[in-house]
Amino acid sequence: MARLKQKKEDALWQADPSLPKHVAIIMDGNGRWAKKRGLPRTAGHAAGAETFRRIATHCKDLGLDYLTVYAFSTENWKRPPEEVSAIMGLLDRYLHEAIEKMERDGIRLRVLGDTAPLSEELRALIARTEEISRGITGFQANICLNYGGRDELVRAARRYAADVAAGRANDLDEAGFASYLYTAGIPDPDLIIRPSGEERLSNFLLWQSAYAEFYYTSVLWPDFTEAELDKALRDYLGRSRRFGGV
């Protein structure tokens, strides 16, 4: 009975054209989740990676087009080296798995950020998953890795200046500038979710968030369930988006 109700609800969601096309999430609270259980912080990240798997599948099942998650920022290198390598290890494992099953699952993957400082192995995995993704249509998950909003804007400005100097570009408008960002070709997020009770953007999608709706919850990311996402979506559906109009 509960399953039937859930199925009906899912069908209803899928039919709703006002659902966001693109949801972005700051996966926060892994460390506190682990601390509460007397576990090392890295156990929190492992649980967080599991949550990402579940939520990505749920977004796809609901018919959303994009999910973008903040996995590692340009500032996260300041964390203890063992924590950094644990996060990289989880990404490595996730990409290995994705290569095996992303075609079956119908999930396209992109990694957004400066991949140059990452290990050669991780970069090869990213290249392989993006290559497989080109043959898949439908839902896309974007993992922001060594990503910083300010860094992205500075890089875009540099690349634009280089194109001007080389005679490849002249006048610049907003759409033209957006084409220099990591997110080129991806629509802006409609909804940005931050769990764990923190209410800030932390250098995430600075340009792209201009008209995003924000949703905060005190739930820690490893505890974030499909029902929590549904709650955020319901809240979003009640918002009036005016994009500067009336």
Residues taking part in catalysis: 28, 76
- Picking from 83, 77, 141, 154, the residue whose alpha carbon sits closest to that of residue 112 is 141
Look up residue 22 and give its two tokens.
């693109």
Q: What is the 3-state secondary structure (H, E, C) of 3-55?
A: HHHHHHHHHHHHHCCCCCCEEEEECCCHHHHHHHCCCCHHHHHHHHHHHHHHH
Give strand pairing partners of 214.
Answer: 192
Among 118, 125, 143, 229, binds ligand FPP (CB under 6 A): 143
Q: What is the contact mask toward ligand FPP in residues 74 to 93, using x (rule: CB under 6 A)?
A: --x----------x--xx--
Residue 71 in contact with ligand FPP, rule: CB under 6 A:
yes
Look up residue 130 and give its two tokens.
């993006």
Q: Total number of residues binding ligand FPP (CB under 6 A)? A: 19
Residue 28 in contact with ligand FPP, rule: CB under 6 A:
yes
Among 25, 27, 102, 144, binds ligand FPP (CB under 6 A): 27
Q: What is the contact mask toward ligand FPP in residues 170 to 209, using x (rule: CB under 6 A)?
A: --------------------------x-------------
- DSSP-derived 3-state class of residue 135: coil
Part of the chain binding ligand FPP (CB under 6 A), chosen from 26-34, 128-136, 199-207, 228-236 = 26-34
What are the DSSP calls for 79-118, one per residue?
S-HHHHHHHHHHHHHHHHHHHHHHHHHT-EEEEES--TTS
Part of the chain binding ligand FPP (CB under 6 A), chosen from 25-33, 126-134, 153-161, 168-176 = 25-33
Residue 32 in contact with ligand FPP, rule: CB under 6 A:
yes
Residues that bind ligand FPP (CB under 6 A): 27-32, 45, 48-49, 52, 69, 71, 76, 87, 90-91, 94, 143, 196
